[in-house]
Structure 1
C-alpha cells in the first residue's frame, strides 16, 4: 500500500483481467419483481461473505414502482396509490424504478478493495459519468447530492441515482440510469428529496440508444473505473 496516497498500487494488466473474470455479470431480459430482486441480493451477499459465490453485477429492469431508502420522508411520497412502494433498506430517499431504466445491482467484497464506502460511492458515480461520456454527455457530481447530474443550462436534471447498502463489507443495491423511462412517473414522488431539480434520460437528451448498447458501455466502463483507475480498483490478489 502506498502510504502517501492511501490507495493501492497499480498492478499488471493480467491482474485486472483475472479480477474481471472473477466478477459474474447477469442480465435479466424480463422485468424483475422487486421482492425477487431483494431476495436474490440478500442470498448472494451472504454467499459472497461465506466465500461460496463470486461477486456479481446484475443488470435488470423493474416494473413501475417506488422505493424508499433509509432517509425517506413520507411527505415526499406525493401519490402513494400510483405504484407499489417498497422499503429498500438502502441509503437515500424515494426513487422510481421502471421499464426503460437500467438498474445495476453491484455485489462486491469491499473489504478486499480498501474497505472504503465513500470511495465506493464515488466510483459508482464515476462509472456512470464514464458511460455518459461515451455519448458525449457531461455527467457531473454534486457534493451535496449523491447521483449524476446533467447541467442543461436552464436547469440541472438527474440522470442516474445511486443507493447502496453494505453488510459486513459486501455491497448491494447500486445504480439506476435513465435510458428511456416514462419520466412522468417521477411525478408521484419528490425524487431523492430534491424538489428544485428535474430528471432526464438519454432519450430525453436526444440519444435514442438501446439497452443493449448501454449494457456494453457499462461493462467497458466498469473495467476502466473499478479495475484500473478508481479508488477501489487497485486490488491486491489474495495469496493462493
Structure 2
C-alpha cells in the first residue's frame, strides 16, 4: 500500500531556510514505514548556490540574500510566483534511480505546460525544461540515506529581473521565461493542480493531501 500513495503538502509562501530545515529533518527521521512526500512551496526572494557553483564571498546581490545549498547544480533564484516542488522520495524502495527521477520531473513539467497549450522541451546536456531556448524550469537534487531532497522550480508568474543579476545555472547564455509570458491567466493554483495529476500518472501513485 505504501508504494501506491504519496502525500503532498502545500506550504504556501515560506522562507527557504525554514523549508530546507524541515526537509532535512524529514529525511533524517524517516524509517522504512514513512510515506514519501512531495512539497509545494513558494519562497521569499533568495539566491541559492548549488554544490557545483564556485562560491561567491558575498551575502547579498542587489539586496537579495545569497546562500549555499546542499543540492547539485549551480546558482539560481527563487521568489514569489515560482512554484517550487520538493521530492522526498525513497528511491531505493521505489526502484528509481536519480536519472529516472530527473526524467520524471522534466516530463511532468512538459506535460503540465502542454495541458495549457504551451510547447516545451528539454535540451541535451542541460537539465531543466525550455521554451524557445529560454529556461522555464530548473532542477536540483541531492540524495541522502537513499532518499531524494530538493527538486524543481517552475516559473509561473514572478518578477524575473533577479535572474539577470546572475548566470542562471552557471550559464551566461541562459535566459529565463515563465508561464505568464504565454498565458497570463494561469495561476499558481492552476499549475499546482495539473502538476499533481501528472505526478499521479508518471509515478503511478495516488496523491493525497496531508494537513500541515
What whole-Å deviation, never above 9, does each CA across 1:67-126 have from its counterpart, x for those lacking one?
A: 000111347x9x734311111110000000000000001100000222411111111111
Which of 6, 23, 42 lines up with 2:6 in the alignment? 23
Q: Which residue of 1 aligns with 2:175?
A: 198
* Contact 1:47/1:53 (<8 A) preserved: no
Q: Which residue of 2 aligns with 1:212?
A: 189
Give the whole-Å Cα distance in 1 for the aligned partners of 2:34 and 2:63.
Answer: 37
Q: 1:46 aligns with which of 22, 28, 31?
A: 28
User: Out of 72, 78, 101, which is 1:97 matched to?
Assistant: 78
- Asked if structure 1 preserves the Cα contact closer than 8 Å seen for 2:167 and 2:174, the reply is no
The answer (yes or no) to whether the contact 1:72–1:92 under 8 Å persists in 2 is yes
CA RMSD, Structure 1 to Structure 2 (Å): 1.8
Name the structure 2 match of 1:37.
19
Matched, 1:176 2:153: yes
- Out of 48, 52, 57, the residue aligned to residue 71 of structure 1 is 52
Cross-structure match for 2:114: 133
Task: State the match for 2:138 in structure 1.
Answer: 161
Partner Cα distance (2:43, 2:73) in 1: 18
The aligned residue for residue 60 of structure 1 is 41
Q: Distance in 2 between matches of 1:73 and 1:207?
A: 36
Distance in 1 (alpha carbons) for counterparts of 2:29 and 2:185? 38
Aligned pair count reads 203
- Could you tell me which runs of 5 or more consecutive residues in structure 1 were left unpaired when the two chains were aligned: 1-14, 229-240
Moved more, 191-200 or 61-70: 191-200
Contact persistence 1:125–1:147 (CA under 8 A): yes
Q: CA deviation at 1:137?
A: 1.2
**Hey, what's the Cα distance between the residues in 2 that align with 1:60 and 1:143?**
28
Segments of 4+ moved more than 3 angstroms: none
Structure possessing the higher radius of gyration over alpha carbons: 1
Distance 2:29 2:7 in 1: 13
Which of 61, 66, 73 aligns to 1:80? It is 61
